[in-house]
Amino acid sequence: MTLHRTYPPRLPIRPAEQPVDAIVRLPGSKSLTNRALVLAALADGTSVLEGALFSEDSWVMVDSLRRLGIPVDVDETAERMIVQGKGGTLPATRAELFVGNSGTTARFLTAMTALGHGEYLIDGVPRMRERPIQPLLDALAQLGVQTESLLGTGCPPVRVRSRGLAGGTIRLRGDISSQYLSALLMIGPCTRDGLRIELESPLVSVPYVEMTLAVMADFGAIATHERAQVFHVPGNQRYRSRTYAIEPDASAASYFFALAAATAGRIRVLNLGTRSRQGDVQFVDLLERMGCTVIREPDALTVVGKRPLRGIEADMNAISDTVPTLAALAPLAEGPVVIRNVQHIRYKETDRIAAVANELRRLGITVEEFPDGLRIEPGPVQPAVIRTYGDHRMAMSFAILGCAVPGLEIDDPGCVAKTFPDFFERLEAALGRR
């Protein structure tokens, strides 16, 4: 594994000298890369993933697939991964899988190992041992798979013992993470009888499930649903190997769109437009409501910032990964920014609601914290060292605020390696400093 970047323990952020004006190309989507890796591994034959993301989250997925007996060759320079699919089977009968702090890897592989014949252990970093996975374990248990949270916490480390998976009906919670549902949907075609998945509570982050269904279709499998509450996946389907192009990461793009807003500048992101399957492209809609101009094209999005920004109230359930991005812009608005319906982000890499509130208060900003969100009052920003809690999105979001106000330093900037190892270099380039 190579991530190339070494950052100091603390990184001062220099404000932009002038409004930004840049055209930006971004790395591949983490969400699409990890879904495509799973489906290519379950397909018949060799798949080539073009534009794949090389980050901690994708490397732990690649390593885990190899440990399961699925060959994956990589060419990081060409942003290419080549996967030798095994037709819905897992060659390894025993494997210990280290998933770091990658929620997609942990949840997707827990379900995927249920297709195997053997015993599998899934574990990660200390924070992963605090991230819930019990609803997925309960769902697999309904299908006859032996699953166990080894510490009895409902979190990893997890042990899965399986003798293959026939299929059946599952009742599943949808209000903690959409990744449980995505994990089950992806393995459904490889079962004998298929899956019927009934959600017991409203589904969070719906666009990510829509993404899963779209990528499944790209690899040749169908699934249907009724009102996003009952999902049907026919069994005995075969994923088809293919060459698959992965579009740039829309969550990563949110930081550069926010940079345009923060500096009253202009950013155009290439190869990410109205054709995107990623829900997080909707972040530009919020910037538009705040007063920015958005130019939408099939294969590009442009944001032109305008100061002062307007305060808004937003239900961000569908695009919750961009909550820290919007929150970091809030001090620059002329009215309060209210974020609601994102209680599930308390179970991410950190409790993102509490972390964002803590760091904004460190900057002298008045914040009211709700169980499901935040109310942020604009105001002068005082210098501070921003704690990141090991969360890549905290580091990148507050770096954008540091481009608009002086005196911000990012603690542990290297945590961006999780999804965007060269973020700070690309930020400097967008600011015209490289």
The residues that are catalytic are 321
Compute the distance between CA of residue 207 and CA of residue 309 in angstroms, rounded to an integer: 27
SS3 for 17?
coil
Compute the distance between CA of residue 236 and CA of residue 166 in angstroms, rounded to an integer: 10
Contact (Cβ atoms closer than 8 angstroms) between residue 102 and residue 124: yes
Compute the distance between CA of residue 392 and CA of residue 248 in angstroms, rounded to an integer: 17
SS3 for 351?
coil
Contact (Cβ atoms closer than 8 angstroms) between residue 49 and residue 244: yes
DSSP characters over 31-79? HHHHHHHHHHHHSEEEEEEET---SHHHHHHHHHHHHTT--EEEETTTT
Contact (Cβ atoms closer than 8 angstroms) between residue 55 and residue 62: no
Rg of the chain taking only CA atoms, in angstroms: 21
- Listed in sequence order, the residues at least 6 apart from 430 whose beta carbon sits closer than 8 Å to its beta carbon are 20, 22, 24, 256, 259, 267
Contact (Cβ atoms closer than 8 angstroms) between residue 38 and residue 108: yes
Compute the distance between CA of residue 380 and CA of residue 363 in angstroms, rounded to an integer: 8
Say which DSSP state 278 is in: -
Compute the distance between CA of residue 87 and CA of residue 220 in angstroms, rounded to an integer: 12
Structure-token pair, residue 58: 């994708």
Compute the distance between CA of residue 233 and CA of residue 168 in angstroms, rounded to an integer: 10
C-alpha distances in angstroms, 278 versus 4, 73, 169, 193, 212? 27, 26, 28, 30, 10
Say which DSSP state 388 is in: -
**Taking CA 394 as the corner, what is the angle to CA 325 and CA 202, rounded to the nearest 5 degrees?**
65
